[in-house]
Structure 1
């Protein structure tokens, strides 16, 4: 029996894929750096062996799956080539694997992870479902009908997939270290749309997505008139958000979600549209009400000083706006404090003014040093360049997180795609 060896098994996508293969009865092992990541826990629960990188890990009889972060000169990849072992990059293996199921790719510049999690949650109430979520969660069943997975546009990796369906949440300019412009991003999504086999569920409120031209039907969802699936009468409740759904102007049903903010209504609407397309009843779709969320997406806890601490992956101006909007709607009587760590110098430089504008939506702003990528050079950019554009903002260091205790009866949102969690952990341990 084949054993799959994952090079970089602690990566979010890699960890999730390893979990899926294990759950479907395959032998799985992997290697990574000797540092603890949150993705390890699920692997350890399954007793999947995790080794430290070494060419000695690579033996005859293995099938190799390598993470996208590792170049061809990595010692384990070189050894695998020497032994002429079956070798796949993560996205190529996933592209072949999903042909075993009714596959649903969830893609878009923002909202992929939350939407994939929500979709997987609902589908599990209907049929055995395998899923791969970008927060490191994965689950497989040998008799799965559906496979819901997050498909990332970065470096056009999603072009390795030919899914039955695609949910497209939005098209926005991001990853400026790779994409040159919004047109370049659009071209990637247009190319991906051509690979979809049955249908696309796209947000009609997104101007770019209105121009997608695939070979399959497109079902549009959104809040505005003219969408095939439209949410109306949206209201915040004590436990989340309630809204009516109209299908081509005919009332369909009323749904509730346990979250707040327009982006969460749109994410839910995409799942409702996909399920309706698959003839799943509205009663089963109402499982969205019990969705517990995904890791690092508005993950909250109550704290001292009547504070709510929120950990969120927001790392683009639009995501910061959406996260602050959700916090305002859930906690209308509290001040909003943004603690933001920019992710990559290229993104910070490209969106410097947009970041400032988005952060101004908070009542107080703290900025952490930029989390740089190994792939880029910093130039002369520092966090002070962003601070100069955000009124009355402060620099937060690990040595002065105790300042956050001054914000009594407030919501503290720790945002970023780097390691902003360390600031929250330090504050909690002050």
Structure 2
């Protein structure tokens, strides 16, 4: 039996793909750095071997799947080429693999991970569904009808896919180390739209998605009146959010979700639209929407005394605003404190003013040093350049983390895509001692 060897198996797409193939009874192994990464837990639970990098990991009877971060001269990729074994890049392999199923690509500048997780949770209760989520979660079912997966626009990788359906959540300027501007991002999504086979579900409140050309039907969802699927009468209580859905202006059903904030309503609407199109029983849909626990690193909560500590992946001004809004809606009587670690110098420089605007929505702001990427040059940018745009903000490190203890009745939002979690861990161990 062929063994699939993953080069960089701990990657946020690679780990779930390995999990899926393993669940479908393929023989899987992989290699990666030895440092602990949260995506390895699911691999360990399945007893998938994870080896340190080394040319000898690659054998002549394998198929190699290489993560996008590993160049052709990486020792394992080079060895595979020398042995003449097939080598697939992650997104090329996935592009071929999804052709076996009714596939749903979830894409957009923000909300991909949460929406993929929600759709997998809902569809999986109705039909055999495999899924790949960018928080490192994957599940394979041998008799799958559906394959739900997160499709990333970075470096136009999602152009390797020709899915049955695409959900498009929004278009915003991000990844400034690759895209020139928002029109360049739109161009990538427009190319992707032309590859979809059956239908597109797009947020009609987004001005860019409104202009999308496609060869398949496009259904729009959102809060505005011109959408095919519209949410009205949105009510928030301590348990979450309830709203009515109208399909082309006629009442469809009332739904409740445990999330807070407009972005959660929109994510749910996209799932409702897809399930309506695929004729999923509305009772299953209602039940599953109400019981969705969320995905990893998206508003992950922990209560310690009077403080709520939240770990969130928000790393773009739009996402920070949404996370702060969720905290304010869920905990109206608590002070909302933002602890933010910018991710990459290019993104920080590009969105300096926007980061300041979003963070200013919080009651107090603490900034951690910029988490740089190996791909970039820092220039002269320092965290102080952001701090001076945010009145009364402080710079914080692991050694000064106890400053947070003065915010007694508060929600502490630890936000970022780098290693922001180390600051939360430092604060928790400070509290414990």
Alpha-carbon distance in structure 2 between the residues aligned to 1:96 and 1:239:
42
Give 1:237 shift.
1.7
**Partner of residue 169, structure 2:** 169
Residue of structure 2 equivalent to 1:290:
291
What is the SS of the residue equivalent to 1:64? strand
RMSD: 0.5
Partner of 2:51: 51
- Measured against aligned partners, the alpha-carbon deviations of 1:210-253 in whole angstroms (never above 9, x if no partner) come to 00001000000001111000000001122110000000000000
Residue of structure 1 equivalent to 2:81: 81
* CA distance in 2 between partners of 1:416 and 1:238 (Å): 26
Preserved contact between residue 126 and residue 281 of structure 2 (Cα < 8 Å): no
Instruction: Specify the alignment match of 2:179 in structure 1.
Output: 179
Given the two structures, how large is their TM-score scaled by the length of structure 2? 0.99
173-182 vs 65-74, greater mean Cα deviation? 65-74
Partner Cα separation in structure 2 for residue 359 and residue 157 of structure 1: 31
Give 1:72 shift.
Answer: 1.4
Correspondences of 1:122-271 after superposition (within 5 Å): 122-271=122-271
Cα distance in 1 for residues equivalent to 2:119 and 2:333: 32
Cα deviation digits, residues 151-204 of structure 1 (max 9, x gap): 000000000000000000000000000000101000000000000000000000
Number of the residue aligned with 2:98: 98
User: 1:395 — aligned with what?
Assistant: 395
Deviation at 1:281, TM superposition (A): 2.0
Would you identify which runs of 4 or more consecutive aligned residues in structure 1 move more than 6 Å?
none
Q: TM-score, normalised by structure 1?
A: 0.99
Structure 1 residue matching 2:16: 3-state secondary structure: helix
Tell me which residue corresponds to 1:110: 110
Aligned-partner Cα distance in 2 for 1:396–1:80: 46
- The count of residues paired between Structure 1 and Structure 2 equals 429
| CA shift digits 1:304-324 (9 cap, x unpaired) | 3x0000000000000000000
Match of 1:275 in 2: 275
Structure 2 counterpart SS, 1:429: helix
Query: Are positions 1:60 and 2:53 aligned together?
Result: no
The aligned residue for residue 299 of structure 1 is 300
- The offset of 1:109, in angstroms, is 0.1
Counterpart CA distance in 2 for 1:379 and 1:71 is 25
Secondary structure of the corresponding residue to residue 319 of structure 1? helix
1:284: Cα distance to partner? 1.3
Query: Following the alignment from structure 1 to structure 2, what is the Cα–Cα distance between the partners of residues 425 and 365?
Result: 18
Q: Name the CA distance, whole Å, in 2 between partners of 1:239 and 1:26.
A: 42
CA drift of 1:144 comes to 0.4
Q: What's 1:343 paired with?
A: 343
SS of the residue 1:125 aligns to: helix
